[in-house]
Amino acid sequence: MHIADVTHFVKPATPMDDEAKGRGTTVYLVDKRIDMLPMMLGTDLCSLVGGRDRYAVSVLWVSGTPLVKTDVCRR
């Protein structure tokens, strides 16, 4: 599972951080979307796109096996 890590672009205690906290997530409706972040970040720089390096938090697991090791990697 991969989740975009927006912390490179959204600094703590800024107006953008406060607004994003209030929204919590991007909401997808049938006819529109309500973005957590400004469009340039949400649809481009922070969007996970195949074949392009992006900041992300990833969790990899094998279903049905016990958890034996956890690691945090930051590149």
What are the tokens at 38? 């400004």
Summarize the confidence of residues 55-74 as an average pLDDT.
76
Q: How far apart are CA 58 and CA 72, in angstroms?
A: 9
Q: b or e along 38-54 (b: 16 or more beta carbons within 10 Å of the residue's beta carbon)?
A: beebbeeebeeeeeeee
- Mean pLDDT value across residues 63-74: 72
Model pLDDT for residues 32-62, shown as the tens digit of each residue: 988 888 888 888 888 888 898 988 888 877 7
Q: What is the pLDDT of residues 19-37, one digit of tens each?
A: 888 888 888 899 998 888 8
